[in-house]
Amino acid sequence: MVKIVAIGEPMIELNAMTVGKLRDVTYFEKHVAGAELNFCIAAKVNGVDCSLIAKVGDDEFGYNVIEYARGKGVDTSMVKVDPKLPTAVFFIQRGYPVPMRSISFYYRKGSAGSSLSPSDIDVSKIREADLVHTTGITLAISDSAKEAAMEGLRNSRKSSLDTNIRLKLWSPEKARETLLKVIPEVDILVTDPDDARIIGNVSEPDEAFSFFSKMGVSTLVYKTGIEGTYVYHEGEKFVQRGYHVQVEDPTGAGDSLSGTFISLLLKRKSVDYALSHAVASATLVVTTRGDNEIIPDEESAEKFLKEFK
Amino acid sequence: MVKIVAIGEPMIELNAMTVGKLRDVTYFEKHVAGAELNFCIAAKVNGVDCSLIAKVGDDEFGYNVIEYARGKGVDTSMVKVDPKLPTAVFFIQRGYPVPMRSISFYYRKGSAGSSLSPSDIDVSKIREADLVHTTGITLAISDSAKEAAMEGLRNSRKSSLDTNIRLKLWSPEKARETLLKVIPEVDILVTDPDDARIIGNVSEPDEAFSFFSKMGVSTLVYKTGIEGTYVYHEGEKFVQRGYHVQVEDPTGAGDSLSGTFISLLLKRKSVDYALSHAVASATLVVTTRGDNEIIPDEESAEKFLKEFK
Amino acid sequence: MVKIVAIGEPMIELNAMTVGKLRDVTYFEKHVAGAELNFCIAAKVNGVDCSLIAKVGDDEFGYNVIEYARGKGVDTSMVKVDPKLPTAVFFIQRGYPVPMRSISFYYRKGSAGSSLSPSDIDVSKIREADLVHTTGITLAISDSAKEAAMEGLRNSRKSSLDTNIRLKLWSPEKARETLLKVIPEVDILVTDPDDARIIGNVSEPDEAFSFFSKMGVSTLVYKTGIEGTYVYHEGEKFVQRGYHVQVEDPTGAGDSLSGTFISLLLKRKSVDYALSHAVASATLVVTTRGDNEIIPDEESAEKFLKEFK
Amino acid sequence: MVKIVAIGEPMIELNAMTVGKLRDVTYFEKHVAGAELNFCIAAKVNGVDCSLIAKVGDDEFGYNVIEYARGKGVDTSMVKVDPKLPTAVFFIQRGYPVPMRSISFYYRKGSAGSSLSPSDIDVSKIREADLVHTTGITLAISDSAKEAAMEGLRNSRKSSLDTNIRLKLWSPEKARETLLKVIPEVDILVTDPDDARIIGNVSEPDEAFSFFSKMGVSTLVYKTGIEGTYVYHEGEKFVQRGYHVQVEDPTGAGDSLSGTFISLLLKRKSVDYALSHAVASATLVVTTRGDNEIIPDEESAEKFLKEFK
Amino acid sequence: MVKIVAIGEPMIELNAMTVGKLRDVTYFEKHVAGAELNFCIAAKVNGVDCSLIAKVGDDEFGYNVIEYARGKGVDTSMVKVDPKLPTAVFFIQRGYPVPMRSISFYYRKGSAGSSLSPSDIDVSKIREADLVHTTGITLAISDSAKEAAMEGLRNSRKSSLDTNIRLKLWSPEKARETLLKVIPEVDILVTDPDDARIIGNVSEPDEAFSFFSKMGVSTLVYKTGIEGTYVYHEGEKFVQRGYHVQVEDPTGAGDSLSGTFISLLLKRKSVDYALSHAVASATLVVTTRGDNEIIPDEESAEKFLKEFK
Amino acid sequence: MVKIVAIGEPMIELNAMTVGKLRDVTYFEKHVAGAELNFCIAAKVNGVDCSLIAKVGDDEFGYNVIEYARGKGVDTSMVKVDPKLPTAVFFIQRGYPVPMRSISFYYRKGSAGSSLSPSDIDVSKIREADLVHTTGITLAISDSAKEAAMEGLRNSRKSSLDTNIRLKLWSPEKARETLLKVIPEVDILVTDPDDARIIGNVSEPDEAFSFFSKMGVSTLVYKTGIEGTYVYHEGEKFVQRGYHVQVEDPTGAGDSLSGTFISLLLKRKSVDYALSHAVASATLVVTTRGDNEIIPDEESAEKFLKEFK
């Protein structure tokens, strides 16, 4: 069976039950999230085994992450429990100041997850995997986590990276500098115009592909939102438009898109098939508060696509 | 006063409080539903008396159905309480795998409601009624319920049937075979392209009318969704487009459409009036989780239509 | 710093947690509202001090109003506590009979707020303020409240009035008669086609401006809904279209529009800037159940406008 | 079948979802209540028909009352809908300032229910009933309601009154004066030490019985809380202690006690049986927020008593 | 590591959010439950591996059971998915008619779980286990399930049975007859006075031990509620009183008691230690709505016991 | 008017909506808390002005703290907004592992509040105050906060300290060392046996008083839980037993006790009066999830005491 290893910090998400400024929100709904865990769950739902390399705290939220991920079928045998540091949490503010958009407020500084280091990477497991995945978030949260991620990428048979630049975690300069170093290690790159502008001062899809392919990227997944997701792969260009639905919270949509697309590609599905499923998956994710629960399996994505074609 | 008798199983509905896979839903909201009960409530709200012939269990959910229906003004004097069998329940999954669509999971096998039989039909009451209504669901849930429904239709002064084919309850073959026998007993038929395809391999409105009118149907209500509802009545064809609104749960919309249309027709309102009210009613039903609470009275439907014209 | 005084009744709002007829709503969410308090909060969020002149009951809901308004930065030193009369409450029914619209059911007859009288108006504070604001609601709830409002307007350096005709509070005839007397005291008038028709039998924007400017109004804010809000000011005409968003409850949107527009005008922002912010503010208010919590500050409104331009 | 007529105002209850000052409560749960309606439901659950004579508003809350009462089996054919006045509402604050106690805040002044008058009393129906019931609340809310209640009592074959003095509705002096006039019309009196002190300056059970029996009362139900409920009936004295349970909201417990006791007495059950069931009923009512939903039928009360004996 | 195999039907539990008759409950909270699954989770939390042998439906609730159990560390590799039959559900009514007690309403007839049969038992796994556990529920739900349970017990190295007689599933006669056949296969028996009376017409602890030990039971766990749990083991008698806490829902307490006691015994803890932990565990379970989430690990049980000693 | 200054970190509290392990809690209710803010609110409710010296982040939660405290009447003019650091949050787990007890999980490391330093202390305001209050928490969260607190105590006319040792924030050794230095600066000390054991290896009330009075403490408030709170003041010893109530969450009870006691003492009420009110206040706080909303004013505490005497 195809197997992925993902490296990154899982977190407890506290999602506002009502739209508006967080100061006026009384109730929060807890979910388990984190870009790489979301990716892993998308892979698993699509029939690809996925192991998460991560650290959590020796606290209720840490065991929450492990139980949830294990329940969803993610291999958690490489999730370590740090005896001292806490599991990270973040809060989601929805619909303010922009309707249908969300903002995250992180409490992850000094967290167990950000203390991940190269010693936490089991290189033998990395080498066995068909693909190693990480994101710009892991590169941003701490130097040791960045080193851990790079240790993973360097030893991988194949690798993917979602740039995922979060300006609450690092400056554009720091992000650019780091990503320019890391991207050459990567086979499949997932990014979007905002991030491409920071990294390479490019924004048009073709221009972005030209830029990143020169850096050695062989497959580019370029997300421009509702207008469409572009894929450049083996000399071909593909595009899939998004779908208009009632938006609850877009958080996690990108992770589900990349996790679905890449895992279906690894399963040797066509790019068209993988891309349409990936966009279906991301579309469903924006209709709910959680980041990964609603990710559809292949049969369900087909039902979605039959209605929305 | 005009009077309807409806025959069919009322149920307890457990509606998911959040969109997504039922496995990830923590809270459920209870409603009272069932196609024929929904129809009856639509009739009553529109000023037409309606009696329900049905069975429920001698349990909390059974009394729940009776108290709710009675509160809404439905005559429940012919709802029998079975001493042994349970009241049926069903769960609604919303927005997965298709946004704005719902899926029902039934626990109605061996229920009190499905044990309905011809002996539960008070023929004298049937003969007094202006109309007897039932649906394909009653025909599907058990042989005895089917016989009960047919006993009702056969003894009616006028009758209506909503085909309502639920493939979780019977196969397309069984549905077709049964409906081909029952439809000739019916004056007013309510159906849609999916069901028409199963029954007569027809789907276009005119084609469907041609097919069903040959079977003896005098009035056809043909629901094609947001594009429009067609009515063929006394040699004329009418159509009313649907309205775009925020969708919470479409369950019950069809019942409210047929209940409103038919009861207004019985009140000698024009087809245009009855059809526009019927579509207004169905539109409101999709904006809420319950199947029948929001059904508008005539004055309220007029307010709706004034805004949405 | 610029300073506004607003005169009118604050209330406790019980907002239906579910869409539909209030009889079928089980849970209600409490908010603090009232047209003039909403206006005051909009002013404060936009950096303009605002004092509320009002009365509340010596009860939990009265202290609720004071604590909430004070927390939001409104000056409550002129909110008096009546020892005997209760604080008014109202219930909001949402989405019935018209989706995305709301209806208010008031329990304000004989309330503390409606007992406001000219003796509650501290004329020295009125004279110090840059602007005095009130609405047609204050004119409608009682004769003494109307006199209090007029005492405020007459002694103001500058004044604004939102006509806000609520036909549950007075007849169209009474509304017209009163407003025809009051409007000549007003500098800035906020109204809409429904109200303009009642007052002056006018409805087209230019026609309305012609009518009201003859009565002495120097600035007219004319709200025609999603199609646009018109402003006539110093010989110029401005218009801003509305934005399509998911509607939760439109209650309070107009107050936030006028509070934002007028306070930014007082801060000497351009009409274009003030109007676009005002419409952004009103748009956000319709996405939530509360009337005033989500009102954006200038920086947040800019973020909104950047996305929705 | 035994039949009761009860006269009094039904109301919409908004019960705080959290314990504490109402100003800090965000969510409210709606119930249908009112002392006489609670009494009626207790009668019906215990197998005694009950009709309510009352008025409600022509509004959602009015139809809410009717649908709810009808659903619960109460005869609502004598509940009139007033075209102008609103249905009364009240709010319940729980656990403050005294844990396990509740306080009601009424919005019933000028309500439809308080406009009840002798012309609303159908004397022929009163004369047919086995018992007419009312409470001190009906005597307090308006002069016309008091007259209506007295019209009912005077024409009854047998009558019961729960003194139910609410000092938010009238002064102790007014209460005493009125009750001293009304009690001589009454066969069964339900009261407690607080009320007995106001009416007759008595508080000990025997002392109270002596006082009231001199006024013509033949049966006295005397509620002293958890210590016990005393009954004086046909020369005998009975007592039943209360039960310690987790208290959610005591509102309505007294109504359920009197409704259960009196209806079982009318069914010719023994005083011991009726009293133990009445206390079981009241005990269950304090464990929930609603006033009447949990009232047990005879079989269920027996199960309760088997466990708590 | 010590290893248990448990045989029995896992279910989806819909727990009433409010106390009272189910007809009046609007919201339900979903949990995953089932006597043997609860037992398994108690074992796992106490450091003993546990595998569940069971069947679920190929539906959302079936995968819900698997994901939940797997998340909690239960080995679900022997939980089969039936392609046709549904996963069982049940509803919990709390606090009516007896405060602090619960009643379950099952929808498990014809469920996937009740179709368990001897062919689902992997005898090699049974033989490897340190203990095989089942309950009277598995013996009651179907003949094939009973045969499956007996196949497990007969091939076990050591076995335990909780009699768990549910009179909604079988008659006392059927229960007695079956249990008298099964108990001789069992090493550790868990029961209570109600069940012992049905099985052997015994109720006093010593009397019960005498009866069951003659049938070959070597260890007896005898639960008499708050008064105490008795253990007879290797010629000694132990007792542990219960603790008074605020009761939310007692469902599952017995399973957690037996699962904790037996797994600690297998870990060679003293009977005193195991019994006190078992009672602590059961006490915590009654304070929550779920059946198994709050089961304490050894360290947490020690904290509990330190406070409640 | 009497005036207090309190120094310490306010926080956002996320309180579990259900009892049990946090991993199994889905919903959290937000409150504003912090030992010194709770104290301040208790003072204000009891008629004593209170200013909070603190820092919060320039984020939604920071403004949440300010708006809430200002709404409750606390003077927030000395609450500074840090442009970079976040507002602290904490989570409350209730009822596990010990029923009726709570555990806090802090995310306050590196928070704005813990960056408080002596430069944030306006000594002129300190000198004007009748009393300066802080707690052991402020001494524990950072060196700069400790210095700030000591700057406040040293410059006070009168001071109080609640030892409030939280072992998640510092070691017993560190706590002892620091408190032994700080207590000599303090006039009124609030502590309990657990803390007294750490500080002075004392636990019996008299023994504790002997120990602390030698350190210069003139008034000792010694909380031993439900058994009683002891006060040693001007040569006299007072004691007040606690009250048994339904416990929701004890967090904040101690702060409300000390805030109520000390503010009433400053208002020259008798120790008996102040102490009984303080215990009433703490008792009410344990019945709710928030830390400070339910704190009773004097009149309400009297009502409580009348019922519970």
Per-residue pLDDT of E133-146, as tens digits, reads 999 999 999 999 99
Task: Give yes or no for residue B309 having a pLDDT over 80.
Answer: no
How would you classify the pairing of strands E89-94 and E11-16?
Answer: parallel
* Average pLDDT of the residues of chain D: 97
pLDDT level of residue C41 (50, 70, 90 thresholds): very high
Q: What is the pLDDT of residue C226?
A: 86
Length of chain C: 309
Cis peptide bond upstream of A97, omega within 30: yes
Can you identify the CATH homologous superfamily of domain E3-308?
Ribokinase (3.40.1190.20)
Structure tokens at A160: 């993917």
Subunit contact E14:B23, Cβ cutoff 8 A: no
Q: What is the pLDDT of residue D226?
A: 86
Subunit contact F296:D100, Cβ cutoff 8 A: no
pLDDT digits (tens, 9 = 90+) for B4-46: 999 999 999 999 999 999 999 999 999 999 999 999 999 999 9
* Average pLDDT of the residues of chain A: 97
Residue spans of alpha helices (H) in A129-267: 136-141, 143-154, 172-182, 193-200, 205-214, 253-266
Distance, first Cα to last Cα, chain A: 31
Residue spans of alpha helices (H) in chain F: 35-45, 60-71, 123-128, 136-141, 143-154, 172-182, 193-200, 205-214, 253-266, 271-286, 298-308
Subunit contact F99:E303, Cβ cutoff 8 A: no
Distance, first Cα to last Cα, chain C: 31
CA dihedral angle for residue D185, residue D191, residue D194, residue D200, rounded to 10 degrees: 30
Backbone torsions φ then ψ of A224, nearest 5 degrees = -110, 20
pLDDT (average), residues F246-262: 98
pLDDT digits (tens, 9 = 90+) for F186-240: 999 999 999 999 999 999 999 999 999 999 999 999 999 888 999 999 999 999 9
Please name the residue of chain D whose CA is at the shortest distance from the CA of residue B66: D71
> How far F64 CA lies from chain C's nearest CA (Å)?
9
Structure tokens at A83: 């005896």
pLDDT (average), residues C193-198: 98
pLDDT level of residue D2 (50, 70, 90 thresholds): confident
Residue spans of alpha helices (H) in chain B: 35-45, 60-71, 123-128, 136-141, 143-154, 172-182, 193-200, 205-214, 253-266, 271-286, 298-308
* Distance from the Cα of residue D177 to its chain's centroid: 21
Residues of F in contact with D18 (CB under 8 A): 288-289
pLDDT digits (tens, 9 = 90+) for E69-87: 999 999 999 999 999 999 9
Does the domain at C3-298 match CATH 2.60.15.10? Answer given as no
Q: Please report, for residues A136, E36, E104, E282, E293, the alpha-carbon distance to residue E265 in angstroms, rounded to integers and kept in the order given.
A: 50, 18, 30, 16, 22
Q: In the β-sheet with A229-233, what is the strand arrangement from edge to edge? A: A79-82, A49-57, A3-7, A131-135, A159-162, A188-191, A219-223, A229-233, A236-240
pLDDT digits (tens, 9 = 90+) for F89-111: 999 999 999 999 999 999 999 99
* Average pLDDT of the residues of chain E: 97
Global ipTM: 0.97
Residues of D in contact with E96 (CB under 8 A): 284, 294, 296, 300
Inter-axis angle of helices C193-200 and C205-214, nearest 10: 50
Subunit contact E72:A67, Cβ cutoff 8 A: yes
Task: Exactly one of E249, E255, E272, E291 is catalytic; name it.
Answer: E255
pLDDT (average), residues C47-70: 98
CA distance E24 to D74: 16
pLDDT (average), residues A283-305: 98
pLDDT digits (tens, 9 = 90+) for B102-140: 999 999 999 999 999 999 999 999 999 999 999 999 999
Task: Exactly one of B49, B120, B187, B255 is catalytic; name it.
Answer: B255
Q: Which residues pair with B40 in a beta bridge?
A: none
Distance, first Cα to last Cα, chain E: 31
Contact E231, E219 (CB under 8 A): yes
Structure tokens at E235: 């010629």
Task: Give yes or no for residue C1 having a pLDDT over 80.
Answer: no
Closest by CA position to B212, among listed B237, B178, B187, B234: B187
pLDDT digits (tens, 9 = 90+) for C269-287: 999 999 999 999 999 999 9
Q: What is the pLDDT of residue B286?
A: 98
pLDDT level of residue A94 (50, 70, 90 thresholds): very high
Q: Please report, for residues B283, D160, D197, the alpha-carbon distance to residue D214 in angstroms, rounded to integers and kept in the order given.
A: 65, 16, 16
CA distance F269 to F273: 6
DSSP secondary structure, D259-272, as one string: HHHHHHHHTT--HH
Inter-axis angle of helices A271-286 and A298-308, nearest 10: 80
Subunit contact A67:E67, Cβ cutoff 8 A: no
Task: Exactly one of A206, A255, A272, A291 is catalytic; name it.
Answer: A255
Contact D19, D95 (CB under 8 A): yes
* Average pLDDT of the residues of chain C: 97
Q: What is the pLDDT of residue E210?
A: 97
Task: Give yes or no for residue C161 having a pLDDT over 80.
Answer: yes
pLDDT (average), residues D133-147: 98
Task: Give yes or no for residue D309 having a pLDDT over 80.
Answer: no
Q: What is the pLDDT of residue C209?
A: 98
pLDDT (average), residues E252-258: 98
pLDDT digits (tens, 9 = 90+) for B208-242: 999 999 999 999 999 998 889 999 999 999 999 99
Task: Give yes or no for residue B96 having a pLDDT over 80.
Answer: yes
Residues 83 through 142 of chain A touching chain F, CB cutoff 8 Å: 86, 89, 93, 105, 107, 109-110
Q: What is the pLDDT of residue E225?
A: 86
Subunit contact A26:F30, Cβ cutoff 8 A: yes
Residues 207 through 266 of chain E touching chain F, CB cutoff 8 Å: 243, 245-246, 248
pLDDT (average), residues A188-208: 97
Annotated catalytic residue B24: no
* CB-closest option in E20, E97, E100 to D293: E20
Subunit contact F28:A23, Cβ cutoff 8 A: no
Number of H helices and E strands in chain F, helices first, is 11, 13
pLDDT level of residue B2 (50, 70, 90 thresholds): confident
pLDDT level of residue E308 (50, 70, 90 thresholds): confident
Contact F252, F258 (CB under 8 A): no
pLDDT (average), residues D243-256: 97
